[in-house]
Amino acid sequence: MHDPFRKADRYRKEPVKCYELAKSCSPGFLRDCYRRVALQYLFTADGELKLAESQSNIISKQEGLDT
């Protein structure tokens, strides 16, 4: 099973790279493209964090039932 917290952390690092690429691009459409990709990474990271929180809530509830 993958670790959503680690995955979210990876997704949070990628927008920094995309924004740096956007700053150095000369055609405007490429800057916009890199910015959109950066936003998509941020949304994906948020989704992974929500998944991790819901999984940890489910696990804690199951552990509470087992004891």
User: Structure pTM?
Assistant: 0.71
d(CA 33, CA 26): 12
> What pLDDT tens digit does each residue of the chain (67 aa) get?
467 778 888 888 888 888 888 888 888 899 999 999 999 999 998 998 888 888 777 777 777 766 5
Q: 45: exposed, middle or buried (C-beta count within 10 Å: 0-12, 13-18, 19+)?
A: buried
Residue 34: give the domain boundaries: 4-66
Q: Provide the pLDDT for residue 65.
A: 66
Q: Provide the pLDDT for residue 53.
A: 84
Kindly write down the DSSP assignment for every residue of 16-59, as one continuous string. HHHHHHHHH--SHHHHHHHHHHHHHHHHHHHHHHHHHHHHHHHH
CA distances from 65 to 30, 51, 61 (A): 53, 21, 6
Q: Provide the pLDDT for residue 58.
A: 75
- Domain total for the chain? 1
